[in-house]
Structure formats: structure tokens, C-alpha cells
Amino acid sequence: MDAKATSAIGAYTQALKHAAGAPADAGKAGGFGDMLSGLMNQAREGTATAEVTEMKALTKEADLVDVVTAISNAEMTVQTVVAVRDRVIQAYNDIIKMPI
């Protein structure tokens, strides 16, 4: 692998880490919004990890097993986010239908 490809992967990895943001404080007591924010950060990090692993596989730095594992983890995280979103929408609709 040439230095140009290694440099490109390093820059891409740093950009993904920067886009993912810093994780929330573990000791901080939070509410529902903090939980959703944490879930979204996990989804972002999971997909970023999968993308970095795919890039490494293209340059022969990662095995196919690593790529499949990273993609499976990212897919599971996205499915979790979709399930939470569906439940939030369902709860909102139930609240709207309540008599006053």
C-alpha cells in the first residue's frame, strides 16, 4: 500500500471521528433527550467504524470477516434507532389521541 492511500484513510478516519462528536459524560444524570442523543452518537460511530473498516479492506489492511462484523454491528444499531423512533412516534400519537 502506498503512502497516499494510507494518508487518505487516516484523514477519512479523523474526519469521521470529528463528525461523531465526543461521547456524553457517563456520570451526568440525563433525561430522555440525552438518551436519544447518546443513541444517535452510537449509530454515527457504528456506521463510521463500518466505513473505515471498508476503506481498510480496499487497501488490504482488514479481512473480510472484519468488514462483515462491522457492517452487521452498524446495521443492528440502525435497526435499534429505527425501532426507538417508531416507538416515540407511536407514543406521541397515543398522547395526541388522549381526551382532555
- Please answer whether residues 42 and 78 qualify as being in contact, where contact means their C-beta atoms are separated by less than 8 angstroms: no
pLDDT by residue, tens only, the chain of 100 residues: 555 555 656 665 666 555 555 454 444 567 878 877 887 888 888 888 888 888 888 888 888 888 888 888 888 888 888 898 899 899 999 999 988 7
Task: Single out the residue of 38, 10, 13 nearest to residue 26, CA to CA.
Answer: 38
Tell me if 47 sits within 8 A of 74, measured CB to CB: yes
| pLDDT computed for residue 93 by the predictor | 93
pTM above 0.75, yes or no: no
Please tell me the predicted confidence (pLDDT) of residue 16: 57
Provide the pLDDT for residue 26: 46
